[in-house]
Structure 1
Amino acid sequence: MKLDHVTSRDNPALVRLRKLVAEPGGYRKTGSVWIEGDHLLRAALQRGWRPGLVVLTEAAMQDATLAALAESAPRALVVPAALFKGLSSLESPAQIGAELALPPAPAIDPQAASLVLDRLQDAGNVGAILRSAAAFGVRQVLALKGTAALWSPKVVRAGQGAHFGLRLAEGLAVDDLAALAVPLVATSSHTDRRIHQLTLPSPCAWVMGHEGQGVSPALMARCTLTVGIPQPGGEESLNVAAAAAICLYESHRQRG
């Protein structure tokens, strides 16, 4: 590992990383993503990812556990806390972060249990849904154009490491979903078919729609089945991340 002590904010690597952090979709230009905190770095390492660069504070370098994490990269920068804060989007910055090269976008696996995101806007919702997908064994996530950037800092934080175990494809059009050989299933408040009363297709692709507009008509027309989630409390609808967790759990439960 090459270890450099950096005190200038004009260091080229720090300048590049600040630009990457500032733009939610910046990873699309650089082909790399910035992750912050030891939890995310450990999650990446556990899934076989290796950072190209680690940045840690001077205080973190004195912590044997964090210093050992820095050795996972071929290069590490040790910086004052004030410089690290410039790379952080957190109110309380972490002490360590890493830059990871992103793999090429995967081709759609026609037979895989999948999750389709239709123009979801909220980064927290998207990250929480990815976390549920990973938890319930759905490894393919297909995001249509208009969905929040999957590798943006906010989505990555909300995903809590789920990204590193998923096949993620984004920027897709509705017609791209023709590559799926599994049935598409959506939730709807306009059906009497309740999710827990049906035998769900397995595998399938669950479709989660825009927070305000729901699933687009063009995508709904491709769905083989629509199901409802009971809401005895009388609410009009569930948060999309909560709905996704329920649907993915029920699919998992029925698979046994």
Structure 2
Amino acid sequence: MMQHTMIQSRDNAFVKELRRLSQESTAYRKQGQVWLEGDHLCRAALARGLRPKVAVFAESVWPQVPAEWVQAAGKAVVLADSLFAEISSLESPARMGYVMEWDVGAQVQPGVAAVVLDRVQDAGNVGSILRSAAAFGFGQIVALKGTAALWSQKVLRAGMGAHFGLHLVEAASIAEVQALQLPLVVTSSHQGTLIHEAALPWPCAWAMGHEGQGVGDALMEMAEHRISIAQPGGEESLNVAAAAAICLHASSVSMLRALG
């Protein structure tokens, strides 16, 4: 049997930490670590070469746990099933997870294609944008203050592992957007060059704005390109995650064409 620590008390200090990480959207900032629940997220982290600090398993699943899931972590903890269910943020607890170290002081990486999130507040939208960014060759996310917490459980689930292929910067300022040293491209519902007619720069930084208010004035003033998406069906606007997918895909197509 692989070495592990068994915990059955809900008052255990480690259990309390897990509960906060799972149920409080910004607890990871205070604790300097992130909770990944479920084999999909855990596998995605391992595939990117990340090493968990602690592997956590429900007691009922422990006897069948693959050795590599345990050996990848610094230590293994087994929780009574009732405890795992208590700390889980899922309707059906996944019965395994990893505690990962979190990079508190991530800084922008100049010249790396980026997506700037300007007060995008819906966790599902943020996670979906991260997935599109990772899929279409954008290396980093720069989230301005007011954007949903990037490592919250809801964003992690919506991101489906995209986090581990991106450089993530939170609570960023306008000055940090300028530090990207990239042409800034913003979206507008009904103004600017239609995306299918635009000559999109690469690399670049796309700015995606608040669900109701759009991109703020400060970013608009910085923008080198303003882009709109044709909507022949007559809708007033697109969901920000859908708009991001269209825009980032268009950039990736431009990049591939430039590469020949």
| TM-score after normalising by structure 1 | 0.96
Instruction: Please tell me the root mean square deviation across aligned C-alpha atoms, in Å.
Output: 1.3
- Measured in 1, the distance between the counterparts of 2:51 and 2:140 equals 21
Q: Deviations over 1:7-58 (max 9, x none)?
A: 1112221111112222101111111000100111111011111111111112
* C-alpha contact (below 8 Å) 1:57/1:81 kept by paired residues: yes
**Percent same amino acid among aligned pairs?**
54
Aligned to 2:168: 168
Aligned to 1:36: 37
* C-alpha contact (below 8 Å) 1:116/1:143 kept by paired residues: yes
* C-alpha contact (below 8 Å) 2:113/2:138 kept by paired residues: yes
1:81 equivalenced with 2:117 (yes/no): no
1:113 equivalenced with 2:100 (yes/no): no
| Partner SS, residue 43 of structure 1 | helix
| Partner SS, residue 61 of structure 2 | helix
* C-alpha contact (below 8 Å) 2:186/2:206 kept by paired residues: yes
Displacement, 1:175?
2.6
Displacement, 1:192?
5.0
The answer for unaligned runs of 5 or more in structure 2 is none
Q: Deviations over 1:126-176 (max 9, x none)?
A: 011111111111011100000000011111111111111111001012232
1:62 equivalenced with 2:68 (yes/no): no
Aligned to 1:72: 72
Aligned to 1:148: 148
- Measured in 2, the distance between the counterparts of 1:141 and 1:22 equals 24
* C-alpha contact (below 8 Å) 2:192/2:226 kept by paired residues: no
Aligned pairs (5 A) from 1:95-134: 95-134=95-134
The answer for unaligned runs of 5 or more in structure 1 is none
> Structure 1 stretches (4+) deviating beyond 6 angstroms?
none
Moved more, 91-100 or 6-15: 6-15
* C-alpha contact (below 8 Å) 1:112/1:140 kept by paired residues: yes
| TM-score after normalising by structure 2 | 0.94
- Measured in 2, the distance between the counterparts of 1:204 and 1:86 equals 44
| Partner SS, residue 142 of structure 2 | strand
1:220 equivalenced with 2:230 (yes/no): no
Aligned to 2:200: 200
* C-alpha contact (below 8 Å) 2:114/2:141 kept by paired residues: yes
Change (3 A) 1:192 1:117: closer
| Partner SS, residue 14 of structure 2 | helix
| Partner SS, residue 15 of structure 1 | helix
* C-alpha contact (below 8 Å) 1:61/1:78 kept by paired residues: yes
Change (3 A) 1:254 1:93: same
Displacement, 1:6?
1.6
* C-alpha contact (below 8 Å) 2:29/2:104 kept by paired residues: no
- Measured in 2, the distance between the counterparts of 1:192 and 1:36 equals 42
* C-alpha contact (below 8 Å) 1:105/1:168 kept by paired residues: no
* C-alpha contact (below 8 Å) 1:113/1:138 kept by paired residues: yes
- Measured in 2, the distance between the counterparts of 1:226 and 1:181 equals 17
* C-alpha contact (below 8 Å) 2:188/2:227 kept by paired residues: yes
Q: Which amino acid aligns with 2:30?
A: K
- Measured in 2, the distance between the counterparts of 1:62 and 1:15 equals 25
Q: Which amino acid aligns with 1:123?
A: A
Aligned to 2:178: 178
Q: Which amino acid aligns with 2:57?
A: L
